[in-house]
């Protein structure tokens, strides 16, 4: 009999479901690895971070937020053969 894990918050069963994440070695080497999804930059780690863009004589310095990639975006990258994304059992 296969053991089924149940999410304590939603009560949903996760047996056999897959998740996607950045490989540990790649995350260690490149914690802020970013790719474009459409025209939007997303962090492969799934964690949000901010980038400071230095100013010049015409523009003040600014900060831009880079959102973490969603599971759907990570899945699409995995299916496209991205070398730093792996699939795992939930």
pLDDT in tens, 22-59: 999 999 999 999 999 999 999 999 999 999 999 999 99
Q: Which domain holds residue 58?
A: 30-89
Q: Is 22 domain-assigned? A: no
CA 64/CA 1 separation, integer angstroms: 50
Q: Which residue is it, tokens 């089924």? A: 4
Task: Determine, yes or no, domain membership for 45.
Answer: yes
Q: How many residues does the chain have?
A: 90
pTM of the model: 0.75
Question: Do 33 and 43 form a contact (C-beta atoms < 8 A)?
Answer: yes
Decide if 20 is inside a domain.
Answer: no
> What are 60-78's pLDDT values in tens digits?
999 999 999 999 999 999 9
Please report whether residue 9 resides in a domain.
no
Say if 80 falls within a structural domain. Answer: yes
How many structural domains does the chain have?
Answer: 1
């Amino acid at each position: 009999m296969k053991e089924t894990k149940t999410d304590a918050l939603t009560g949903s069963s996760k047996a056999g479901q897959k998740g996607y994440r950045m490989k540990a070695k790649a995350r260690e080497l490149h914690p802020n690895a970013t790719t474009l999804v459409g025209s939007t930059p997303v962090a492969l780690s799934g964690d949000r971070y901010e980038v400071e863009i230095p100013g010049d004589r015409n523009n003040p310095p600014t900060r831009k937020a880079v959102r973490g990639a969603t599971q759907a975006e990570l899945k699409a990258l995995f299916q496209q053969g991205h070398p730093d994304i792996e699939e795992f059992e939930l």
